[in-house]
Each structure stands twice: as structure tokens, then as C-alpha cells.
């Protein structure tokens, strides 16, 4: 009977080792599984990114800028006397989001002080490129951004 006691001690160690391996397996599975599950769950929201952005013109006010999200990009729709214009809200210098200054009718970059006209052209600052214009069409009283 004395031979059973070493086995009982061995089973205790063996059980402990099995429990540790099981816990490590569960933790590893969770660490790999969580990002995968999060990615799969977020996909339905990305499916609609191919849809065009439609903004009714009657919702725009002359001299005012409207910010919208389109395909993961923030765009600015500006209602001017010559008609609407659409720009990327990213400053071409370092990618900061430009803001519309209604009082001066210019876009201003808060990061390095760049200033752009209502047509997106550079007025001043360290930037050399104009704001990127986003192509759009007007159909059925809506601005439609597809490309």
C-alpha cells in the first residue's frame, strides 16, 4: 500500500500541471480570439462604406461648411456663391483636420497655422499643396460623392 502514496502525490502534481496548461490554453485562445471576433463583428458597419455620400443641397447654408464621414475620410462640403465644393478635411502638410472660419471665409489648420481660401488654395503657412478636392455630382437636388 505504500506504493499508492507516491502515485497520489504524482496525481496531485499532474493535476496541477494539467490545470495550468488548461488555463494557459484558455488565455492564449482568448488573446487570439478576441481580435478576430472583434474584426468579424465590425464588418457589417464597413459594408456600407461603398455607398455614395448624399447630402441634400437644401440642407446647406451659403458660407457654411458641413463635415461628413465618407469611406473613413472626413470631408468638408462648402456652400459658396459659385456652388458647392467638396474637400478632404486633412491638411496636406501633416494631415491635421482643417476648420472653416466663417468670419474670414477661409480654412485654417490648427497644427501649423496654414490658411486656405474657400477654393482650397494656399494663402499662407508651411504647406505648399492646396486642399484635396473630392469629385462630386449634383443629381436630384443632392450632392453625391461616389469616386
Domain segments of the chain: what residues? 4-48, 53-145
Cβ proximity of 65 and 118 under 8 Å: no
Lowest-pLDDT choice from 29-38, 80-89, 130-139: 29-38
The larger pLDDT score, comparing residue 42 to residue 33, is at 33
Q: What's the alpha-carbon Rg for the chain, to the nearest Å?
A: 29
Lowest-pLDDT choice from 24-28, 33-37, 93-97, 116-120: 33-37
For residue 50, how far is the Cα from the chain centroid?
14
4-30 pLDDT tens trace? 555 455 578 888 888 999 999 988 888
> Cell for 109?
489648420
Residue 83 has pLDDT above 60, yes or no: yes
Closest CA to 144 of 90, 77, 98: 77
Arithmetic mean of pLDDT over the chain: 81
Residue 46 has pLDDT above 70, yes or no: no
User: pLDDT value at position 48?
Assistant: 53
Helices and strands of the chain, counted as H and E runs? 1, 10
Separation CA 70–CA 89 (nearest Å): 11
Cβ proximity of 111 and 98 under 8 Å: no
CATH for 53-145, options being 3.30.70.100, 3.30.70.890, 3.50.50.60, 2.102.10.10: 2.102.10.10
2 — pLDDT class (breaks 50, 70, 90): very low
Residue 41 has pLDDT above 80, yes or no: no
Amino acid at each position: 500500500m505504500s506504493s499508492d502514496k507516491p502515485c497520489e502525490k504524482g496525481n496531485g502534481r499532474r493535476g496541477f500541471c494539467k490545470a495550468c496548461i488548461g488555463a494557459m490554453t484558455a488565455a492564449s485562445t482568448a488573446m487570439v480570439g478576441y481580435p478576430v471576433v472583434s474584426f468579424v463583428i465590425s464588418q457589417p458597419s464597413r459594408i456600407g462604406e461603398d455607398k455614395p455620400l448624399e447630402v441634400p443641397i437644401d440642407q446647406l447654408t451659403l458660407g457654411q461648411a458641413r463635415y461628413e464621414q465618407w469611406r473613413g475620410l472626413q470631408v468638408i462640403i462648402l456652400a459658396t456663391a459659385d456652388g458647392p465644393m467638396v474637400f478632404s478635411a486633412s491638411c496636406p502638410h501633416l494631415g491635421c483636420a482643417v476648420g472653416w472660419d466663417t468670419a474670414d471665409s477661409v480654412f485654417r489648420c490648427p497644427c501649423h497655422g496654414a490658411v486656405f481660401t474657400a477654393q482650397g488654395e494656399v494663402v499662407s503657412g508651411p504647406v505648399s499643396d492646396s486642399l484635396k478636392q473630392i469629385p462630386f455630382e449634383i443629381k436630384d437636388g443632392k450632392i453625391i460623392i461616389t469616386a
